[in-house]
Structure 1
Amino acid sequence: MAFLLIAFPLAADPAADLERILRSLDADDADLRDRAQAELGSWCEATGAEAEAMLKKTRDGVSPEVRARIEEQLGVFERGREVRKEVGVFFEKAALPSVTGKLRVRFNAGVPFPDFGRLPESRFLNGWLLSETEAEIVLLEDDLRVHVRSRKGDFAPESAKDTPPPGGYEKIEFAKECRAWLKNRSSVLSGGGEQLSAITLTYAWWACESGLSQVSAACLERAHQDTQLFVDRPFHAGEASDFMLKWIAARLRAAADHSAAEGLSRRDLLARWKGIAALPPGMFEEPAPQFIKAYESLLEEDALWVEPPAADLARADATTQARYWLYHFRDAVTGEEDGDLDEKDRKPKGPWDHLVALGWDAVPEIAAHLEDWRPTRRFGCGDSNHPEDTCFLEGYADGCVALIEKIAGIEIGDWARQHGMAIGGDDWREDLAKAAQAWWRETKVKREK
């Protein structure tokens, strides 16, 4: 069954509106009856949770035509419950912020977005408003990431006349946004189809959380239909949802990594990975246990950490200073914009700069982390020609390999190949770390002579 999603203006009295709509449903004019049916759907959206009970009370004592129309609308509520049954467990376990009671907004970032999936010239994005201050706004966006967006800064000149202005936002109707999304079917057919269909299923859940049963049902139905475009065999409804949920699970993993790079607290990151671990089997949950263990370990260290006075740190020996900066190394490297980590004029200097400045005196402490795969906040890339497919959240070991290369002036990969060690394949990061350990064992002996 297809659902009409046409909005009509409604008055503030739900009971009076319903009585008027029911009269139109019994009209002689077929077009008027169809329009009234669409208006009934809009009335249900506007009335919210009470709509279903009110319809059930009115279905007795009406004509067979009107009763059939009411039953059709009640079926939409049932379909909305199917959304919760099919995908609700998945989303509820995923530890995403709830959008119930949240505003859907269109935010003007004031600068173009280079992110995949947005036009380069776009300065606008839609998301759920989680919190705001004068300086920043926190949004849950369609990539399932919680973004902290600045409301102040050097905005692009061409954004000066925008509405809303740079750093500002305007409220949008999520139901209307969903209707536009469903109408523009070409957006799904034009490439990246599986991922865009996964957005449709995400919209179904958000509409469910927002009490938009009709919109939720329509989005779920479209997601089922679109699934058939990307597979060579028919899927039943539940299996189709599983197919889309796997794409959403992949988004959740990517969102956890990107949120780490953007500064989300470790406690929140731990909750994200626990949510991913709770997903049904086959939902890309395999890395979750190691991330859970890693973030629990980092949080234990955080709880015990006592920040020393700056004067004490300045007087400390090289080993103590190296340990200090290696502790902060987990947070200071925050994203790909810091790709040239040893940039001399970067201010203020961070852990990388201080560890490099300590030089060989820091190498023993750095080498001690070459088996430490707990995550930092920096993205690495396995293939610069295909960064979107090979990016990963670097562990301590990745950063320490790079630190050793900088301090010692060597390429660990070249050293490994010269010593008959294989570097490559899916385990190339581990190979580099093992090679760095072998290099240090050899170098340490030479330096001690």
Structure 2
Amino acid sequence: MQTQLADFIRDTPEGREADEILRKCVHCGFCTATCPTYQLLGDELDGPRGRIYLIKQLLEGQPVTAKTQLHLDRCLTCRSCETTCPSGVHYSRLADIGRELVERQVPRTAGNKVARWLLRELVPRTGVFTVAMKAGRLARGLLPEALKDKVPAARPAGPWPRPRHARRMLALAGCVQPAMAPTINAAAARVLDVLGISLVEADGAGCCGAVRFHLNDAVGARDNARRNIDAWWPLVERGEVEAIAMTASGCGVQVKDYGHLLQHDTLYAEKARRIAELTRDISEIVAAEAERLTPMLRAKPGTPPPVAWHAPCTLQHGLKLRGGVEQLLTAAGFHLTPVRDGHLCCGSAGTYSLLHPQLAGELRENKLAALTAGEPELIASANIGCITHLQAGTALKVRHWVELLDARLNGFPL
């Protein structure tokens, strides 16, 4: 694709990156076949190819309107198009650049502005969000349906093994997971403990920055990244931990991107690059121990229930990890039921399900129809957002896959 970037962006780091991405796109249209919003709406501008064209117009200095903003807002950033693209177009990076520029140029309505501010300021603050979640559970019956869906019932996390192994890894508590599903990190700690690895959380670490970043607050996202790096760096520098284990694939994508996010920060660039290198999804860590883990799982009595596996977009398209969880669950004795269109988004996408509830609801209905077609007794996933979003639409239990392994290894209830 030929480009003629405007003077205001041409010689900036963002302009050079955007130009390189744009020039890779050949407008073949393969991406539209795997774009969830294009499939629902049938509008070229609600698919990757159309959005790329809108961003190109913006970067070339053409007028930007609320319509441009709407089409970019509707993008889930699921990155399915990146998996499909034969030319290797890094669409998500281009979308990030375009959205930030549109945010500066197009004023939002008062209601939209307030909603986005509340999400940006409430969700990433773990303490505030935890209080809000407790209050929401107390008043759940009085909440509107859109919010009631986001208030899951409390479940006890169970014990966290004391650090006792020479091998240690860091876990990110995150912003919403401690309040919504503390069971996930606790289950991961118990599974790794069986494998001779101690999982610890560092004081001071919090939201990975993804919430703010995808609400076009790049400054706040970088501040979140710096805070986490500061919390983790002493342990990393002293060689006390060998990896940073991510139990939420959405957080994993964001932290793996710290090197790019802070590449122009002279104080943090090198640290950010090192943190990104150390970050691994929990499935990678457990899969690396499969030779030791599989005999333990096979020795457990009983037949586990059939499970439908939902691979979050952040796991399969963002982190490019496919097949690993399925192998682990199969090794644990779970029968995986067939799921059609497994590459498509469930509609959660961080705060998307709150800002675009109708589209998110349609995507959830489609996803649940695919997940339940094989008559599973459980649904497993790998990201707190997907788990909560799917659970709101089904009576089946939706759990993190590591909780299923914990149940087999340690007998903890699902």
| Higher relative contact order, structure no. (Cα contacts within 8 Å, ≥ 6 residues apart) | 2
Q: TM-score, normalization: structure 2?
A: 0.29
Larger radius of gyration: 1
